[in-house]
Structure 1
Amino acid sequence: MISVSNNFLRLGVLSALVGMTLGVWMGANQDFVLRPVHAHINLLGFASMMLFGLFYRAFPAAGRGWLPLAHFGLSVLGFLILMPSLALMLLQKPLFLPAMIASEIMLVASMFLFVVIVFMATMKKEPATV
């Protein structure tokens, strides 16, 4: 079984590759209209997904159950809808504005779930050391 941690880490490095490639393309073409997409891919895709993956690696028990799966699903779905929707909006083609709004709600909901998961994992009593 592939862990939530592995899935987040894989998505994180793929996002870094896509974000860096977009940055190189923008620089080569001197066209920076999509810089918010570049920033969101790097922050939400790379930084956040990697941190989620590392948290689940550090607290393996937190990666079990339906909450981490819901967190992963909302994070990925929200991210994959937001990036093209944002790009289209910046290119003056707001075809998917309702989808963009929905994706932002998904991402906030996924962060809320992550907050719950982190608090649950870090509030458990640790065994006493001698």
Structure 2
Amino acid sequence: MSVSNNFLRLGALSALVGMTLGVWMGANQDFVLRPVHAHINLLGFASMMLFGLFYRSFPAAARGWLPMAHFALSVLGFLILMPSLALMLMQKPVFMPAMIASEIGLVSSMLLFVIIVFMATMKKDEPAAA
């Protein structure tokens, strides 16, 4: 299974979860979790979909251990951040150290992505076949 497909699937699932949370908040007029809703939509949907589309556009960039590390750090950070942020917003910061670690992991995953993007886009284009 490709890293592109994995990011695209996670992005689509995140959109569903983020939208469902938004509908629930609106129906209950309880907006305490709006930062979680925003993070699910931004980190989960927008970022994961963009990562997937990048790897789809640059298939060579999806090879090797860097993209796998990028995916692992992104997913792990995302899956730890969302519930720990929700608990913090509900005045139960029991997972604050995990939340901080997940944020560091997410920034690290973005650093890996920046490196991957630069490596993929700095390669010289091969001459077109005549």
Question: Which category of TM-score, normalised to the shorter sequence, fits these structures?
Answer: over 0.9
Shift of 1:128: 3.0
RMSD of equivalent CA atoms: 0.7
The C-alpha deviation readout for 1:97-116, integer Å capped at 9, x for no partner, is 00000000000000000000
Specify the alignment match of 1:7 in structure 2.
6
| C-alpha separation in 1, matches of 2:49 and 2:69 | 17
Specify the alignment match of 1:48 in structure 2.
47
| C-alpha separation in 2, matches of 1:115 and 1:61 | 15
Question: Secondary structure of 1:54's match?
Answer: helix
Shift of 1:127: 1.9
Question: Secondary structure of 1:95's match?
Answer: coil
The C-alpha deviation readout for 1:66-125, integer Å capped at 9, x for no partner, is 000000000000000000000000000000000000000000000000000000000000
| C-alpha separation in 2, matches of 1:95 and 1:84 | 11
Specify the alignment match of 2:100 in structure 1.
101
Question: Secondary structure of 2:17's match?
Answer: helix
Question: Secondary structure of 2:39's match?
Answer: helix
The C-alpha deviation readout for 1:41-72, integer Å capped at 9, x for no partner, is 00000000000000000000100000000000
| C-alpha separation in 1, matches of 2:2 and 2:17 | 23
Shift of 1:13: 0.2
Specify the alignment match of 2:18 in structure 1.
19
Question: Secondary structure of 1:127's match?
Answer: coil
> TM-score scaled by structure 1?
0.98
Unmatched tracts of structure 1, length 5 or more: none
| C-alpha separation in 2, matches of 1:93 and 1:71 | 30
> TM-score scaled by structure 2?
0.98
| C-alpha separation in 1, matches of 2:122 and 2:14 | 31
Specify the alignment match of 1:39 in structure 2.
38
Q: Size of the alignment, in residue pairs? A: 129
The percent of aligned pairs where both chains have the same amino acid is 86
Residue 63 (str. 1) matches residue 62 (str. 2): yes
